[in-house]
Amino acid sequence: MTDNVWTRWPSQEALSREGISRPRRLLGWGVRLLVIGMLLWGAVHNHHVHIWAAVAAAAGVLAAAGLAWAFFRTTLAHRLWPSLGLLTVLFGVGAAVRTGGFDVPGLVIWCGCAVVALERLPLAAATPVAALALTTYAVVDDDRWLTTVATTIGLALAGYVLRLDADARGNAQRLLAQERAAHAAETESAALAERARIAREIHDVLAHSLSAQMVHLEAARLLIERGADREQILQRVVAARGMARDGLAETRQALSALRGELTPLEEFLSELVEANAGAEVTVSGERRPLPAEASQAVRRVAQEALTNVRKHAAGAKVRVRLDYGEHQVVLDVSDFGGSPGELTGAGGGYGLLGMRERAELLGGSLEAGPREEGFAVTLKVPV
């Protein structure tokens, strides 16, 4: 529901001094002190009144300054009736000062009441207050009527312009606060995303490596319980050690990726297929650096696909193809022939589910299934 423009207060950002530049603030204080000084000088050096009346007028001017400060504080807190009460007292001080023979200070106080009311009060309350103060000024002013009308209109416009300026400053302060809050939220979101990325990398590396080690160690335990010969047990332990070594290397690689120290993707795939007999890699399209997340997704999927080939299709020929498209990069890992591996059915690890989740997090897709004489995994990642 939209606030009524007549009953709505200026925002606290508009009424406060926040957002006012230092030169403008100094200028404002300079103007206030100059006006108060001129009023005090006029009150004290008025030769048409008694010295004690001049002192009383000076005290009235100082009291008006104190009341104006209190009025600023109450309007900042959006307290309507105390603010109207302070304006009433200010109006009375102006009348008392003028009754004492000090016309100019009294008129200035009345005009000031009109201006600050238009600047700091809801329009429904500011309009009658300003009308009363300016009407009183126009009635008692001794200048020509045209000058009085022009001054009255000018003061009303000045008060409203100050209100618009304060509203604009307040809106700017709110937008700045919202921008800072959005920046803080963006920073926190980026930190959470980075933590999730680190957790995902650690899970992908360690879960896969440790699950494979557990398979070999569990097999070694069973062989020991069954009294198998030393060579069979040693073979399983050596395999587990190899898995641990590979896992450590992958962990270091993941940490390097998190620090942005990645080897070129083509070089990584070449090194990866060298460790797999019967595997070959081809690269097409315009080669270019990929974002860290996309590059890591390609690397992880290639690793997992080749691991699955060793587990489920030992001795199969593997073809790894990497295609750099204009808007996406495509990795295709296909195997042909081969016999079931010794770890078939072991389960665990990263698996196709983890690869698909990684692809979807990047807005891509992953397809896996039988093709021709073997099995194929196709990853598409937008870049």
CA distance 110 to 98: 10
Report DSSP letters for 323-335, one per residue.
EE-SSEEEEEEEE
Written as six digits, the tokens of 117 are: 């009311």
Burial of 83 (0-12, 13-18, 19+ CB in 10 A): buried
pLDDT the model gives residue 331? 92
Residue 343 pLDDT more than 50? no
Residue 47 pLDDT more than 50? no
Q: Which domains does the chain have, with CATH numbers?
A: 12-142 (no CATH), 265-383 (3.30.565.10)
CA distance 59 to 17: 27
pLDDT the model gives residue 227? 83
Q: At what angle do helices 208-225 and 292-312 cross, to 10 degrees?
A: 20
pLDDT in tens, 89-142: 888 888 887 777 767 777 788 888 888 888 888 989 999 999 998 888 888 877
pLDDT in tens, 194-209: 677 667 766 766 766 7
Q: Report how far Cα 273 is from the mean position of its chain's Cα atoms.
A: 43
Percentage, residues of the chain above pLDDT 90: 5
**Bridge partners, 370 (sequence order):** 375
pLDDT the model gives residue 289? 83
CA distance 98 to 91: 11
Higher pLDDT: 56 or 380? It is 380
Written as six digits, the tokens of 378 are: 């196709």
Q: Helix, strand, or coil here: 267?
A: helix
Closest CA to 257 of 270, 268, 246, 241: 268
Segment 274-297 shows an average pLDDT of 81
CA distance 313 to 61: 98
Segment 247-260 shows an average pLDDT of 68
Any idea which of 33-37, 117-121, 207-211, 300-304 has the lowest mean pLDDT? 33-37
Q: In degrees, to the nearest 5, what angle opens at C-alpha 166 toward C-alphas 110 and 10?
A: 80
Q: At what angle do helices 351-361 and 292-312 cross, to 10 degrees?
A: 160
pLDDT in tens, 205-236: 676 677 778 888 888 888 888 888 888 888 88
pLDDT the model gives residue 261? 57
Written as six digits, the tokens of 77 are: 């807190």
**Average confidence score pLDDT of the chain:** 78
pLDDT the model gives residue 349? 41
CA distance 194 to 205: 17
pLDDT the model gives residue 37? 65
- Residue 347 banded pLDDT, cuts 50, 70, 90: very low
Q: In degrees, to the nearest 5, what angle opens at C-alpha 138 toward C-alphas 134 and 143?
A: 140
Higher pLDDT: 194 or 8? It is 8
Segment 81-92 shows an average pLDDT of 89
Segment 243-263 shows an average pLDDT of 69
Q: Helix, strand, or coil here: 256?
A: helix
pLDDT the model gives residue 245? 78
pLDDT the model gives residue 81? 92
| 332 within 8 A of 367, measured Cβ to Cβ | no
Measured between alpha carbons, how far is residue 325 from residues 16, 55, 174, 251, 358 in Å? 56, 88, 44, 29, 20
Residue 351 pLDDT more than 80? no
CA distance 195 to 198: 5
Residue 330 pLDDT more than 90? yes
Higher pLDDT: 51 or 83? It is 83
b/e 133-142 (16+ beta carbons within 10 angstroms → b):
bbebbeeebe
Burial of 118 (0-12, 13-18, 19+ CB in 10 A): buried
